[in-house]
Structure 1
Amino acid sequence: MASENRTAASPLTLLKRLQQAPYKFGFFEALRQIECAYPDKARIGVSSRPAEDPVRFGQEPSMAFAPSTLSSLELSKKGLPPRLSVLFFGLFGPNGPLPLHLTEYARNRLRNEDDATLAHFADIFHHRLLSMFYRVWADAEPTVGLDRPDDDRFSGMVAAQIGIGSPALRNRDAMPDFAKQYFAGRLSAQTKNAEGLLAILDDYFHMPATLDQFVGEWLAMPAHSQMRLGMSRLTGSLGETTTLGEY
């Protein structure tokens, strides 16, 4: 996702904004921007190890109903990834599956005893669950796939419907592949009609077009495509290897 000047935000700038005002971001928006800020990292939710993710996710133990999806972003001074805490999803809280007294216990240990053991243990599961939750949403949003065109699954599926699914069949002419994918509904239809062709030409060139149908014209056939009776017994026997008129 680009910033206001249409360039990808740097990781440091994005993390600073999240740290200063996390409530201004939605969960999906924040993770999408994080994914764009770290193009060298694996997509969130597809990494094989948590160490491959640019940010660790967790839940803040709280009894309050979430006023926003994000709680805080903590920057580590020990070279560890930043920790992004959420409020709307997890084991703790009034909407969580754990008994409420465990939320109270975890919050009390965290605030009064400076002991985050229980909360961080639960975050082992929160990180993976939140990552997969985002991945399910992102896989269903075609625009998110375009953030990384080289790894865009949706465009590949649409391209396969019109015969340009494999890399060897892409970018072979002056018409951009995205334009072909835009007209995939008409190009992939079993019935090709004049109305569809005119709609493609009008939309692509932004100019009105007309089409004259069923205009007869002689077709010149090259010599190697013509048959001659008597030239060969293999191809020139009328009624056997050569037909004349309707079959």
Structure 2
Amino acid sequence: MRILQQVGGRRRVGYAGPPEAEAVRFLAHLSLSFPASSIHELIPATPERPAPRLVQAFMGLTGPSGVLPRHYTDLLYRLERDRSEKNPERHALREWFDLFNHRFVSLFYRAWEKYRFFVPYERGESSLSDPDLFTSCLFSLVGFGTPFLRNRLRVSVRETTEDGESHERVLARIENLTLLRYGGLLAHQVRSAAGLQAILQDYFQFPVRVCQYQGQ
């Protein structure tokens, strides 16, 4: 799922957007046999169905782990196997069930990723102006909970052009996410010289020594 949701132009599953615009479509495996794995099949996207379809076997209304009585799965199986019936409406019942299956699995995936902070980071949400909840909490710990305080750590010089106009040229910039690496040290109310030395030494990758109480 984490790979499928990297596809550009598709929405994340389980939110308020239309299901046909989401990154993947979940289907229930139509079988009563014991599943060999949670994922039965991944059907690639087609021009008619732009989203890939993921056939899963671990939850749903019907199938090996379905919550409905077994005869519903038997009915769907007979409709799918009936070659004499050419009417495409014989797939309508299964597709109607899959409307609910898709939503169930989508919400299950959202519940799974809620406490896995690395998933929003992989999607780049931590770099947005309104980052994910976990990143926002870390910013609050280090004193950057307000968006106005971010993107201000930089080294710049004032330059004057030939026509007399002055402008700022940025020489170096410290990214916001870099500060979160040192959140354990920055979150303390008491800032020690040892902590400052550890941050500078790790950031610049050079030996650093903080000499305290040095006169001018």
Do they superpose with TM above 0.5?
yes
SS of 1:116's equivalent in the other structure is helix
1:126 Cα deviation from its structure 2 partner: 0.9
Letter in 2 for 1:171: N
Q: For residue 145 of structure 2, what is the aligned residue in structure 1? A: 165
Given that 1:59 and 1:87 are in contact with CA atoms closer than 8 Å, whether structure 2 keeps it comes out as: yes
State the match for 2:191 in structure 1: 192
1:143 aligned to 2:118? yes
Name 2:101's counterpart in structure 1.
126
The CA distance in 2 between the partners of 1:93 and 1:60, in whole Å, is 5
Question: Displacement, 1:77?
Answer: 5.3
TM superposition shift of 1:182: 0.7
Give the equivalent residue in structure 2 for 1:103.
Answer: 73
Structure 1 window deviating more from structure 2 (68-77 vs 171-180): it is 68-77
Q: CA contact under 8 A between 2:35 and 2:64: conserved in structure 1?
A: no
For the residues of structure 1 that align with 2:193 and 2:96, how far apart are their CA atoms?
64
Give the C-alpha shift of residue 85 in structure 1. 1.7
Equivalence for 1:86? 56
Taking the aligned partners of 2:211 and 2:48, their CA distance within structure 1 comes to 73
Report the AA paired with residue 166 of structure 1: T
Q: Structure 2: how far apart are the matches of 1:83 and 1:202?
A: 49
Match of 2:31?
Answer: 62
Q: Deviations over 1:15-66 (max 9, x none)?
A: xxxxxxxxxxxxxxxx22221112x333222233323324322112211222
The CA distance in 2 between the partners of 1:85 and 1:43, in whole Å, is 18
CA distance in 1, matches of 2:47, 2:205: 56
The alignment partner of 1:47 has SS state of coil
- Aligned 8 A contact 1:60 1:119 in 2: no
Q: What pairs up with 1:1-247 in 2 under 5 angstroms?
A: 31-38=1-8, 40-72=9-41, 73=43, 75=45, 78=48, 81-112=51-82, 115-146=90-121, 147-149=123-125, 150=128, 152-153=131-132, 154-172=134-152, 173=154, 174-213=173-212, 215=213, 217=215
Percent identity of the aligned residues?
Answer: 31
> Residue 139 of structure 1 contacts residue 145 of structure 1 at CA under 8 Å; is this kept in 2?
no
Which blocks of at least 5 consecutive residues in structure 2 are unaligned? 155-172
When residues 111 and 191 of structure 1 are mapped into structure 2, their CA distance, relative to the original with a 3 A threshold, is: farther
- Structure 2 distance, partners of 1:42, 1:74, is 17
Change (3 A) 1:60 1:95: closer
Structure 1 pair 217–85 and aligned structure 2 pair: CA distance change class (3 A): same
Cα shift readout 1:139-194 (whole Å, capped 9, x = no counterpart): 32222212233364032331222222333322222222121011111101223222
**CA spacing shift, 1:112–1:133, aligned 2, 3 Å:** same
| Larger proportion of strand | 2
Q: Retained in 1: the 8 A contact 2:26–2:54?
A: yes
User: Number of paired residues?
Assistant: 186
Residue 32 of structure 1 aligns to a residue whose secondary structure is coil
Q: Which runs of 5+ in 1 are unaligned?
A: 1-30, 219-247
The alpha carbon displacement at 1:116 in A equals 2.4
Q: Which amino acid aligns with 1:164?
A: F
Distance change in 2, residues 1:74/1:103 (3 Å): farther
Against the structure 1 CA distance between its residues 89 and 212, is the aligned structure 2 distance closer, same or farther, given a 3 Å change threshold? same
| Rg comparison, structure with higher value | 1
Q: Please name the residue that 2:170 is paired with.
A: none
